[in-house]
């Protein structure tokens, strides 16, 4: 709790420092993103369903250990998202994700809120010029609303059977392509982030 309060207390100063160091010759806009990874597998995701009183719901179920990882960054400011699918997670894949993300709107400075997963360590690498990472304190997942985007996406594939990983990946791509910016903003738009961001960058 102490770390959480400290992070929130220092958030505005952290953003002000980023603004102070901004290279305006190369950067024309600034955006805030929440980044995370989640595993999507062929095992059928269960969820609550409505049924008559005393009637046990029945549904198809597939048990499988095959899965894909979906990497994503979601903006509470513009509603934009950037995603990548991989077979696993590692530091090298995280660096590849950041490099690819940096090429999306290369003149936009991307402030990316991340958790403390071991493979998020970037001590030995040079980040792209338009990427700034902002780690949240350990054991504070409530500070990263990207988690809620995954919940929303997994609800879309719950109670469904996918025969192959290709079929599942196609469905994931479809969901990502059709997700509306206003929905992303409504899911990730925590006021303590958005109000602070606008105070620092939108005056």
pLDDT in tens, 104-159: 999 999 999 999 999 998 888 889 999 999 999 988 889 999 999 999 999 999 88
Q: Quick check: 203 pLDDT over 70?
A: no
Report the pLDDT averaged over residues 152-173. Answer: 92
pLDDT at 76: 98
The per-residue pLDDT for 8 is 81
pLDDT higher than 80, residue 66: yes
Residues 6 or more apart in contact with residue 108 via CB below 8 angstroms: 27, 28, 29, 30, 31, 130
């Amino acid at each position: 709790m102490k770390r959480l309060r400290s992070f929130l207390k220092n958030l505005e100063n952290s953003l002000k420092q980023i603004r102070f160091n901004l290279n305006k010759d190369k950067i024309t806009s600034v955006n805030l993103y929440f980044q995370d990874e989640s595993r999507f597998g062929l095992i059928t995701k269960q969820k609550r369903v409505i049924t008559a009183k005393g009637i046990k719901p029945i549904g198809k179920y597939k048990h499988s250990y095959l899965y894909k990882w979906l990497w994503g960054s979601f903006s509470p400011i513009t509603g934009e998202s950037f995603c990548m699918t991989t077979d696993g997670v590692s530091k090298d894949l995280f660096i590849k994700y950041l490099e690819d993300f940096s090429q999306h709107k290369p003149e936009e400075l991307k402030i990316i809120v991340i958790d403390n997963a071991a493979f998020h360590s970037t001590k030995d690498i040079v980040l792209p010029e338009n990427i700034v990472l902002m780690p949240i304190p350990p054991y504070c997942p409530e500070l990263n609303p990207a988690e809620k985007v995954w919940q929303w996406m997994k609800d879309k594939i719950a109670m469904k059977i996918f025969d192959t990983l290709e079929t599942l990946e196609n469905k994931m791509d479809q969901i990502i392509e059709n997700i509306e910016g206003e929905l992303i903003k409504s899911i990730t738009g925590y006021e303590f982030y958005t109000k602070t961001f606008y105070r620092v960058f939108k005056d």
